[in-house]
Each structure stands twice: as C-alpha cells, then as structure tokens.
Chains A and B, each alone.
Chain A
Amino acid sequence: MARIVCAWEFGTGLGHVRRLLPIARELRSMGHAVSVAVRDSLYIDHSAAEGFETFAAPLLREPMDANRAPINSSDILLSLGFSDAPALGGVLRAWRSLFEAMQPSVLVADYAPSALLAAGFAGIPRATVGSGFALPPPGNPIPALRPWMPNDPGVLKAVDDRLVACVHAAAGKAAREIHDAPAVFHAEAHILCTFPEIDPFGAREGVAYVGPPASDEGGLEVRWQEDAPHRLLAYLKPEVPYFDSLLADLSGMDAEVIAAVPGIDPARAHAASTGRLRVYPRSVRLEELLPMASLCLSHAGSGFVARALVAGVPMALLPLQVEQYLIARRVEEAGLGALSPPHRPPPRFGEWLPRLMASEPMREAARRHAASHRGYSFALAARQAAERVAALAAR
C-alpha cells in the first residue's frame, strides 16, 4: 500500500478532475491511499465527497502581461505564471510542505508542472497523465506549437532559456539539475489518456497510450426520434460568437439534430429547440446516440472526438483554441472530418454541414478507422493508467 498524490495545477473546467478521479478510484481499489490536489476550489467537493483527502493546489495566476499567443510549451508555462519567480518560488515551497506532510510514493500530475518540479527536487517518482497537450513534443529547444507557421529556432531557444532562468530564480540550488526546458517537463512515466492518432503533437515514442477515458455518467438520456437519413449530434459552447446563427442553421437543416450545450440558460435552450432541432442545457448520454449519428459537430475537445472516432462517426470541428485546433488537424489529416480554424470566420453552416453529412468517402474512412478500435473500452483507461502509476510506486 502506497500513498499517492494526484495533482491538477493548470487548465480550466471539470475535464482534469474527470480524468484524475477515475484513476484515483482505481488506485484506491488497489489498496493505495490517495490524496488529491486541485486547481479550482469549485471542484474540491467532487473529490472530497468521494472520501479523498483533497487540497487546494498551490496557485500560480496568469500575469497581467501574459502572452495570449505562446509559441511553445515553455512559453505557455511562462504565460501561466512561471514568469513570476517570487510566486513560483512560493508555489514550489508549498508543494514541498505538502509532500513533506504526505510522504507520497508517487506523484500523478495532470498538467501540474510546478508539482513535477517540486516532486523531482524531493526525489519523489512522477507520472504525468493527460491528453497530450501538457507534454511537449520531443526536441530541444521545445518545438513550436504551430509548426505550420514560420518559427525561428533562436526565438524558441530564448523562450526556453527564460523558462529555465525563472525556475532557477525561484528554486535556487534545488534546480541545479534543470539544465534545459525539456527537463522542466521530465517525469519517470508519461501516461497519455488518448489515442496516438489524436495526440495533438502526433504519435510519439517514450510514452504509454492507455486510451481516453469516458463515461456517460450524469448525462441526460435522449433518443433519436425519426427515421431520418441524416442525424447530427452536436456538443457546443454557448459563448461562441456565431452560436445563434449556428443554431438557426441547425434548425433549418434537413436532418434531425441533438445539441448538448452545457452552460446555456435552460430557457434559451428550450426556445431554441424548434423543428427537428433539440437543444439540451447539459451533457447527454452518447452511448445510445453515437451508433446512429451521421455527423458529430464539436469544438474538438479530445473526449468527444475520441468517442466519435470509436463509433466511426465523421466529424465537423470548430476548434476554439490551439489544443483543439491541433487535435482537429489530426482528424482532418486522417480524412475523418473537416475543420474550421479558430482564426478564420466560421463556415456557412447551412452548406458546410449537409455537405459533410453527405460525404460517402468520409463516412467510409470513419467506419474503417473505427474497426481498428473495435473492442476498446472507455471504462478501462483509468484502470490501465492506475496500473502504470502503481508500478511506479512499487519500483
């Protein structure tokens, strides 16, 4: 039996907790004592209510002059608060105190680079878990996030050097082994909870792909109602600027449409549900809907993309940020969907979506690709990740 700390430091929303908690549950069922540290106190209760000892993760805040278009993974850390050496120093101290109090055998880090550093300084073995974006692609300097744009290696190196300098300024002698930016992200095991073909940085060596976790738990049960030729399943954010025009186009489409829009005002969802379009203000169960869907429309979050992939449903993707864009590009390159980049005006939905729904080659490619995942179980990913963590604890 080992003490294991699961930490989430950066990123927003419930996704990180949804990835970590199933792993924590598996570890506990294997007999380990698990504690959890979460970035957003709004979600402490999700973990504490299950009986996990839960802490607030030491908090770095975005500096006022944060770079909104970071060029590589080092630059992202700087823009998330690593550039503030006194704050980073305080955060590293707080992780140290927490580790001294907990004496963990392993740290599991879900986008938790300062926890990784502090655990490294304390000699605690580390495993990262994530969908791939938090772990930079191999290379020194750390490669650009947008390899399709011109990138000066000198600039990348300068950003890497700045990150290393900040870590040194914050941690002093403890950081003497941190010679370059890749060392900041180092861990004894990297567990990628995704498929290699939708790893935002492409399939890579030296990591374990355990597959994406997913669960319909808490999702609303809805069914297709018509025997229509086309059925569109959408997962959308209500904040996007084109939201209203998209809904209008969806309601006028020659297809049955189910749109899950968590966060939308329920009254607005009700009012938008006209004709063959139904809008739900929360998540829906996908298991019953996906097999009959002819197209999945989403912002290319890795979870929904993985579900569509396994179900063999082609995708229309409207990524909102760079991680989603990288995933969407990989889907498009594989011929499994089409995307509209975040920096361009949205497509004419009334033309784009019917064209994609009617595309026989795309449907065929999606079906063929799904065959490679036949038998994959979303429920087992957490178990596989937990087994790799436990192996590290036993080492």
Chain B
Amino acid sequence: MARIAFAWELGGGLGHAMACNALARELRARGHRIAFIFRELAPLAYIAECAAHDVFQAPVSLAEGAGKGMPSSIAEILLGCGYDRARHVSGLLAGWISLFERWKPDVVVSDFSPTALAAARLLGLRHVSQGNGFSIPPRLTPIPAFRFDEPMAPGHLEQAEANALASLNSALARLGAPTLGSLAQLFESDEDFLTTFPELDSYGTRAASGYWGPGFDVDSGDTVAWPRGEGPRIAIYLRQFRQLDALVDAVAASTNRVVAFFQGVEPARTARLAGPSRLLSPRPVRLAPLLAECDLFVSHGGSACIGTLLAGVPQLVFPGQYEQYITGRRIEQLGAGTWVGSEDTAETLAAGLSRVLGDPSYATVARAYARRYSGCTPHEQARRIVKRIEQILAAPSRWARSVPARTDAILAPTSPGPKAP
C-alpha cells in the first residue's frame, strides 16, 4: 500500500479538486493512503470522502496575475505566479519540499502543479500529471503558446520562457540541484494522464496514445431527478460571473426543466428561477442519472463540461478564464455547442441559449462524439489510471534525489499508516 499525494497548485474552480477526488477515491478503495495538497481548501466542503485524507495548503503566490495581462503561454502563467523572482520560486519549492519530506509520498499526482513536479523530482519521488491538456504542455522549446486570437511579437514567447526558466534555475542552483535546460523539462513525469480527447485538447491533437479520456465524476453528489414539467431539460453548473443575472433571466423567460448548482451564489440572485419545474441544489448533484435525458449542459467550460459532453450532451459555455475559453472554442468548432463571451450582451446570450436548444445539429454532433468514445467511461478511465499508477509504484523511482535530506526533523511522520477502507 502506498502513500499518494495529490497536488493542485494553479487554476481555479471546483474541477481540479473533483478530478483529484475521483481518482483518489479509487486509489483509497485499493488501500492507499491519500493526501490532498490544494491551492484552495473551500472545495473540500463538497468532497465528503476527503474526511479520511490528510489535507494541506499548497504553496501559491498571493500576487497571482497581479498587474499582468492575459497570459499567452505556460511560461507567462508561471511568471505571474511567482516565477518572476528567483527568491519566490525558492520559497515555493521549499514549501513543497517541506510537505513531501514530512508526509513522504511514494508518488505525487500533479494537477496543474509545476512546482510540485520540480520538488518531487528534486527529492527523487515518482511523479505523474493529470489534466485536461492545458496544464500539460507539449514538450517543445519554447513551450507553444495556447493563445490563438492575437498575434504575438517575434521573440515574445522565447523571452517569457527564458525569464521563467532563469528564476527556476537560480532557485534550483541555490538548493544545490541540477538546473534545467528548458522549461519543458519541468513537466517531465512518469506518466502524463491527458484526461481529454484530441477534439478538446488546448494544444491541438497530440499522439493518440497520450489520451486517457475525461474522468469527470458524474456519480458523486446529491441524488436528484429531473423535475416534472414541459420543455427542454437543462443542467446548470455555474459560479458567480458577470452575466449571471442575464443567464437567469434568459432561462426564467422560457419553458424548461432545470437542475442547477450555483456554487457560492447568494440564493437571492437565482430566486427568479424558482418553480416546480426547476430544482436549485445547494450542492453538486449526481449527474449520471440525469445525462441521458439532458438537452443542454451550461457551465464555465471546466471538467464538468468535458465530462458531460462525453455523455453526448450539447454545451453552452461561459468561459471564466482562457483555458475555458479554449474549451468553448473547441466545442464550437466541433459543433457540439457554443460559448458566450464575458463582454457579450444579454440579447446575444439569450440568442445563444435558444440557438443551442433549437438546432438539433448540436445534439447530433454531441452524440456522435459520445459514440466515438463509447468505451471510455469515467469508471474505465479511473481503472486504467489506477493500474498505471500502481505499475509505476511497483518499479523503483527513476528519479535520483538531488538535494540532501533534512537533519533537524526530530520526529518521524506521525500520520497513521495506510488503512484498509
């Protein structure tokens, strides 16, 4: 039985925590001990299973993105998250190293956690990555830009990468560790679990063997049924965002059946939706029994969107950040849904909603996508990933430790060892 640490360093929303939870549940069922090291701890409130896990705060920059424009590449994201200063990277690394030295994982599962990957490598720990594609960039130098809607000055990408790498290397050198020749090396792992399919990959199609399929967990959450009534069935997973009121108005204005989870939104903001044909849940709901009859999934374009598309449900996306914007664009290109930008008017929003509900081609495309990957259920995905992780655990770590062990740790880790569930 092994100790498995899940690291979530960058990116927002519930999706990262939920993806970690789906995999952790399977691993725990097989007797492994789990730690969640998360950038945000509030999502734990929605994960009842985590009561059995150890939980830690991930080291993150408090100044994330401050004063920076929209990033174009992973290098620019890193520069906005502490990698603009060598001393900050040293601190982030030291924070991860303290946690890993104390908790002693046998393998680190990174969900968008580049600094955790670096720390695991320094300590000679096995490490794998999981993500929708955006967080696992292709191993190219420079790492390609993910932005495609704006031209980039020549040398821009290279400069950002050089700056981020310089900070990282200076931090590594301070620790007496070998430096990296490229930023892509930071993402090297024992396995990349790309939990998406080429149609939605932020970086476009890569080698097909690299896709493990979405793992979005449609089986946890409160069990509810579609309310009785008339009209299309719409499932909504949204947080506070600019056009929330316009969306509520548009949905309230037509006849439909709704199951909605508005995370962290004051109930008063969504009160206009109240009625016997619409169910507003205070917690995430179990989507599995709803999806077969679902006519539209409305979300910000995170893992719930990718996961429900796998069930053949058309999508309406309100991207909250660039990764979600790329997903929205990919879904539009595929023809399985549409997206609404944060600057779009209430009229555009309402038109998008009726278009995606009124035009049957969206459902046709979504169902074809689902058929294409019909063997790739979240359950099957988890089974394969667990198997691969256990394979990696069974072999000796291929990473050599490159920093000395701490000497002042007078007490051994005291958290209880692995327990059978």
Contacts and interface: CB of A to CB of B under 8 A. Distances in A.
Interface string B297-330: 0000000000000000000000000000000000
Interface in B29-84: 35, 38, 40-46, 54-63, 82
Interface stretch (A38-46, A265-273, A275-283, A385-393): A38-46
Interface string A32-56: 0101000111111110110101111
B91 interface: yes
A90 B55 contact: yes
A41 B408 contact: no
A42 B95 CA distance: 11
Interface in A95-123: 96-98, 100-103
Contacts of B410: 1, 3, 33
A94 interface: yes
Contact of A97 (B54, B91, B409): B54
A86 interface: yes
Contacts, number: 129
B59 A33 contact: no
Contact of A45 (B42, B54, B90, B99): B90
Contact of A94 (B55, B408, B409): B55
Contact of A33 (B85, B87, B101, B408): B408
A103 B56 contact: no
A49 B89 CA distance: 13
A91 B411 CA distance: 24
Nearest to B90: A45
A93 interface: yes
Nearest to A45: B91
A93 B41 contact: yes
A166 B98 CA distance: 31
A53 B408 contact: yes
A171 B405 CA distance: 36
A57 B94 contact: no
A18 to B, nearest CB: 16
Interface residues of B, number: 43
B259 to A, nearest CB: 21
A249 interface: no
B372 interface: no
Determine which residue in A42, A56, A97 has the highest number of CB atoms from chain B within 10 A of its CB, and name it.
Answer: A56
Given A3-B410, A97-B415, A98-B56, A41 B42 contact: no
A33 B91 contact: no
A93 B46 CA distance: 14
Interface in B97-119: 98-99, 101-103
Nearest to B42: A87
B337 to A, nearest CB: 29
B55 A97 contact: yes
Contacts of B35: 97
Interface in A39-80: 39-46, 48-49, 51, 53-59, 64
B178 interface: no
Contacts of B413: 101
Contact of B61 (A3, A42, A51, A96): A42
B99 A40 contact: no
Contact of B91 (A35, A42, A96): A42
Interface band, chain A = 35 or more
A94 B61 CA distance: 18
A102 B41 contact: no
Contacts of B101: 53
Contacts of A33: 408-411
B88 interface: yes
Nearest to B35: A97
Given A45-B90, A90-B45, A53 B98 contact: yes
A58 B57 CA distance: 5
Interface string B388-415: 0000000000000000001011110111
B55 A93 contact: yes
B102 A53 contact: yes
Given A33-B411, A101-B102, A56 B45 contact: no
Determine which residue in A43, A44, A49, A57 has the highest number of CB atoms from chain B within 10 A of its CB, and name it.
Answer: A44
Given A3-B411, A90-B42, A42 B55 contact: no
Interface in A198-227: none
Contacts of A84: 42
Determine which residue in B59, B101, B409, B415 has the highest number of CB atoms from chain A within 10 A of its CB, and name it.
Answer: B59
A103 B411 contact: yes
A145 B38 CA distance: 35
Given A53-B98, A58-B57, A44 B91 contact: yes
B409 A53 contact: yes
A42 B411 contact: no
A350 interface: no
Nearest to A36: B98
Contacts of A101: 54, 102-103, 413-415
B42 to A, nearest CB: 4
Given A43-B91, A85-B45, A103-B414, 6 more contacts: A48-B95, A86-B42, A89-B41, A90-B41, A93-B41, A94-B55
5 contacts: A49-B174, A53-B409, A55-B59, A56-B59, A59-B62
